Amino acid sequence: MPLNPNQQRLNDGKAVIAVNTGGRNPDVMNALASAGAHVAFIDCERTGIGLDAATDLIRAARLSGMAAMVRSWSKDPSVLVQYLDRQVDGLVVPHINTAQDAADVVELVRYACGAKAAEKTVIVQIETVESVKNLDAIMAVPGVDAYLIGPNDLAYDMCGQRGAKTPEVMATLDDLCKRLKAAGKRFGMPADWTQLQAFRDSGATYLYFPIEWLLTKAVKDLSQALGSEP
């Protein structure tokens, strides 16, 4: 079977918009797809979405034409296999600190999907000091399709404050991007409206964008258009 066109888009190094849908709302999928989003980022790590809700969202995303990618709350194979069994297009796996962690995810996909493993997208998160230290070894693991940088968690691991933009944190993020780009790897990170040019300049292509960022800007624009801003 051919890849979903949006998975192929990622493989081809084109810009991919992955919208974190935030919660259990399958009805939003058609609107996101119609507006040009490529990936439904179904977040089972930082939201209350359970397996049943994730299943509904996977099906709705695929029906809309978007690729359905689940961020699991765990890298445990017994957890990841449940999303694969529900026909998710890709996995975004947190807590990847070593090459062995990445290799275990790739092997799990091969085990769970057999000949269809090539139809799945594997994205691993780089979000800790340990993963930065082991990046070269992680990048050497075959079967990983892309890398998602987690600047907030990395900042917390480095200095105890999520989202901190200390010189050390910013230098580490810059170095991560340069290393991934130099290795020819596909990677991404969150970038708000003010950071999009820096996102492009870094070589990133997988744009992680929470739905609340879209709503906040849209409602502010609407309020201003009506002359009713605070």
Residues 8-41 have pLDDT tens digits of 999 999 999 999 999 898 999 999 999 999 999 9
Phi and psi at residue 65, to the nearest 5°: 100, -10
pLDDT higher than 70, residue 229: no
Is residue 191 one of the residues assigned to a domain? yes
Q: Which pTM does this prediction carry? A: 0.95
Kindly state the percentage of the chain with pLDDT values over 90. 94
Greatest Cα pair distance, the chain, in angstroms, is: 57
Q: pLDDT tens-digit profile of 91-112?
A: 999 999 999 999 999 999 999 9
pLDDT higher than 70, residue 190: yes
Is residue 48 one of the residues assigned to a domain? yes
**In total, how many domains does the chain have?**
1
Is residue 12 one of the residues assigned to a domain? yes
Q: For position 3, what pLDDT does the model report? A: 83
Read off the pLDDT band of 163 (50, 70, 90).
confident
Is residue 53 one of the residues assigned to a domain? yes
Q: For position 140, what pLDDT does the model report? A: 98
**What is the domain range of residue 197?**
5-224
Cα separation, 98 vs 85, in Å, equals 26
Read off the pLDDT band of 121 (50, 70, 90).
very high
Q: For position 48, what pLDDT does the model report? A: 87
- Tell me what the pLDDT averaged over the chain comes to: 95
Q: Where are the beta strands (DSSP E) in 101-145?
A: 121-126
Cα separation, 54 vs 62, in Å, equals 12
Confirm if 102 and 73 have CB atoms less than 8 A apart: no
Query: Which CATH number goes with the domain that contains 42?
Result: 3.20.20.60
Please report how many Cα atoms fall inside a 13 Å half-sphere around the Cα of residue 109, on the Cβ side: 26
Is residue 229 one of the residues assigned to a domain? no
